[in-house]
Amino acid sequence: MRSPKDFFRPLAVGAPTPVREVPFRPSRMIHFFDPGNEKMAAKIPAIAPTVDVLLGNLEDAVAADRKEAARAGLVAIAKATDFGNTQLWTRVNSLDSPWVLDDLITLVTEIGDKLDVIMVPKVEGAEDIHYVDRLLAQLEAKAGTERPILVHAILETPTGVANVEEIAGASPRMQGISLGPADLAASRRMKTTRVGGGHPGYLVREDPQGDAPRATYQQDLWHYTIARMVDACAAHGILPYYGPFGDIKDTVACEDQFRNAFLLGCVGAWSLHPVQIAIAKKVFSPAPADVAWARKVIAAMGDGTGAVMIDGKMQDDATYKQCQVVARLADELAARDPELAEAYAAAEKE
């Protein structure tokens, strides 16, 4: 293991200096598109201003015989499009695939100055991040990129979940981690056939009370993994994300799954279809009434210490800190989103 003193040194001569803190940029939705699909690609200039992150996907969902077309499509779109303050990410193929080396070489060389984050699938341990870290430094040095491209890991194998803390802290490039429920389910041998979300068979049943019907309550299959991921990310100062929700037509369940993740600490989710963009935007932006309440507590708490009563509820140092989390997030999102800024200002006046 490298000395902690060397942790923030570039891994190649001439590579940009690693960041000391992950920049918080709104990323409520990471919008996936297949850059080799002409119909989807044509929509990207119009979608760009409506999302926080656009992600050109090269891995699963891109057929094996379309991998090169997807890679070339992403290069062409990145070169031709002004993304404004929308981030551009990519998901490269997995590290054991025949495509990933060309993905990384081509993308960093051709559009390294436009790419904010590279998502790496099926990460199993710190060694996977170390491999990508060094390779990116070499490619960045060669391409002359001025800022380091950050790395995002997908948690989609049992080994990855077991090693999530070391993955989160493996490199200063680590920007965040997403749950990958579909591959994780397969590799854990779960008996589901879905992409994220619940399952009606995973439930608890009320105890019997005479002959009365016994209510059942569906449980969240993903709670354990998301909670572990959130803790690992928070401990290492990086950002956790719920991943994809595959039942595109079930917008209600999608909203519920996203909201559970938001409440547990995630900052965003993936949108696989345009219909999921608004859902993620709504869910991962704190509600105006909650922001108004948070600001009221902060104002009443002065220097943030001691205890006060507001509307019948005890507030102290710890609720002050929770309110700061909500208020800061609201400020960061409002700076990007004028409509949200107006909604927050209006709620405060009520």
- Residues making contact with Mg ion (CB under 5 A): 156, 180, 183
Which of 163, 144, 143, 147 lies closest to 155, judged by CA? 163
Instruction: Using DSSP, state whether 180 is helix, strand or coil.
Output: coil
Q: Which neighbouring-strand residues pair with 96?
A: none
Q: Which is nearer to ligand ACO, 34 or 133 (CB)?
A: 34
Chain residues binding ligand ACO by CB under 6 A are: 32-34, 39-40, 43, 47, 57, 60-61, 182, 195, 244, 248, 272-274
Residue 270: which residues within 8 A CB-CB, separation 6 or more?
29, 30, 31, 32, 55, 178, 241, 242, 243, 244, 245, 276
The sign of the dihedral angle between the CA atoms of 111, 40, 258, 205 is negative
Rounded to whole angstroms, how far apart are CA atoms 197 and 247? 8
* Segment 25 to 64, residues that bind ligand CC(=O)C(=O)O, using CB under 6 A: 60
Q: Which does 16 bind (CB under 5 to 8 A by kind): ligand CC(=O)C(=O)O, ligand ACO, Mg ion, none?
A: none
What are the backbone dihedrals phi and psi of residue 307, each rounded to the nearest 5 degrees, phi first? -135, 135
Q: Which does 248 bind (CB under 5 to 8 A by kind): ligand CC(=O)C(=O)O, Mg ion, ligand ACO, none?
A: ligand ACO
What are the backbone dihedrals phi and psi of residue 204, each rounded to the nearest 5 degrees, phi first? -120, 150
Q: If binding is defined by CB under 6 A, does position 329 make contact with ligand CC(=O)C(=O)O?
A: no
Are 220 and 260 contacting, i.e. CB atoms less than 8 angstroms apart? yes
Rounded to whole angstroms, how far apart are CA atoms 174 and 213? 50
Q: Which is nearer to Mg ion, 180 or 197 (CB)?
A: 180
Q: Which does 57 bind (CB under 5 to 8 A by kind): ligand ACO, Mg ion, ligand CC(=O)C(=O)O, none?
A: ligand ACO
| Closest separation in Å from C-beta 110 to ligand ACO | 21
Number of residues that bind ligand CC(=O)C(=O)O (CB under 6 A): 11
Residue 73, token pair as written in the block:
């499509």
Amino acid 66 reads R
* Segment 244 to 283, residues that bind ligand CC(=O)C(=O)O, using CB under 6 A: 244
Site residues, ligand CC(=O)C(=O)O (CB under 6 A): 60, 121, 154, 156, 180-183, 195, 243-244
